[in-house]
Amino acid sequence: MAQDYENAIIKTVKIVLPAVVSIAVAKEEKVIEEEIFSRIFRAPGYAPIYPEDIESEIKKAPHDEKGRVQLGGGSGFLVSEDGLVLTNKHVVMDANASYSVMASDGKSYEAVVLARDPINDIAILKIPAKNLPAVKLGSSENIELGQTVVAIGNALGQFQNSVSTGIVSGLSRLITATTDFSGHQERLRGLIQTDAAINPGNSGGPLVALNGKAVGINSAIVFGAQNIGFAIPIERAKQALEEIKKYGRIRRPFLGIRYLILNPGLKARFHLPLEKGALIVNEGVPGDEAVIAGSPAEKAGLKEFDVIVSCNQKPITEKETLEDILSEFQVGDKISIRVLRQGKEFDAEFILQEFKSV
């Protein structure tokens, strides 16, 4: 029995590993110098620094064959024979950087970032190659607690061919993750929790079931915690891939409000009659509108301090937020909501528009 289990894991790794790739990040020296000076001069009370000192340090850094400074990287995996690659958005977040993909056979390709998902930690790259091995995409909707999964990565350096095993230990998790070296944070929802080790080596790589199909994208670890890793459900990546094929970009639905998810504390703070729902409010950030001009929310007549109680008859709670519910819909879908305004409830309808990143 134990031997069968071990053989199943080995077979899975052999199926998937050829399609797992390394993603290298590089940048021109001049661009790095400009960015460093820009940050220094914006900082209050900055210490004097000289261009030759910066140039000297940049020259010491490792460079690629094109003379660009190497800045690290991560893993990804091929999902089509013609070179589509899935990875984490945070791996390829820098729009001023260049990205190359090294396949399992050692060949390196310059990559184009086709899309960065505005909501999920997902990005899609394209490399100019054909007849490549590809990971088959399974379903994250049918995975179960206790199910065995394998996290695979192939980051350059000490983390090449990284494999770890574990079980699905939680579903629909919500975390706040640091997604780049600047400390930028994002709230990631609906994640698969696993005790398979997620590390810099396999982040961006596939989380795979024992049938050899990807059920998630390894995405985040909780620093300071043991045996806690997270992956983005593969259904979200499948949806993103379909958007790329149809529209050439990832489209995400947009309502056009800023809101807080209510709880007992916010109920008391805003003197509201209920403690569940989405309170439309701008918390004093200059330039931010509670209801964005021209948005579906404005067209539907929503106002600041309205409370959205439910969306398509689903109650809005801390566990299932408005964002969670809207993520199930597509651009162009018609949505109905229940709204509380000054003690009276009414229904409103709107058509979801495409999210436009600023």
Average pLDDT over residues 351-356: 81
Token reading at 198: 């997620």
**Residue 5, H or E segment:** helix 2-16
Average pLDDT over residues 307-318: 92
pLDDT recorded at residue 336: 93
pLDDT tens track for 161-175:
889 999 999 887 877
The answer to whether the 2-126 and 136-247 domains have the same CATH topology is yes
Is the pLDDT reported for residue 44 higher than 50? yes
The answer, as to whether pTM is greater than 0.85, is: no
* Burial zone of 253 (CB within 10 Å; 0-12 exposed, 13-18 middle, 19+ buried): buried
CATH top class, domain 2-126: mainly beta
Lowest mean pLDDT among 20-24, 154-158, 228-232, 250-254: 154-158
Average pLDDT over residues 314-320: 87
CATH top class, domain 136-247: mainly beta
DSSP helix/strand/coil, 210: coil
pLDDT tens track for 206-243:
999 999 999 999 987 665 556 688 999 999 899 889 88
pLDDT band, residue 112 (cuts 50/70/90):
very high
Domain ranges of the chain: 2-126, 136-247, 253-354
DSSP helix/strand/coil, 218: strand
Is the pLDDT reported for residue 108 higher than 80? yes
pLDDT band, residue 43 (cuts 50/70/90):
very low
Whether 199 and 230 have beta carbons less than 8 Å apart is answered as: no
pLDDT recorded at residue 5: 86
Q: Greatest CA separation found in the chain? A: 67
3-state secondary structure 33-71: HHHHHHHHHHCCCCCCCCHHHHHHHHHHCCECCCCCEEE
pLDDT recorded at residue 322: 86
DSSP helix/strand/coil, 19: helix
Tell me what percent of the residues of the chain surpass a pLDDT of 90: 37
The catalytic site residues sit at: 90, 121, 203
**253-354: which CATH topology?**
Pdz3 Domain (2.30.42)
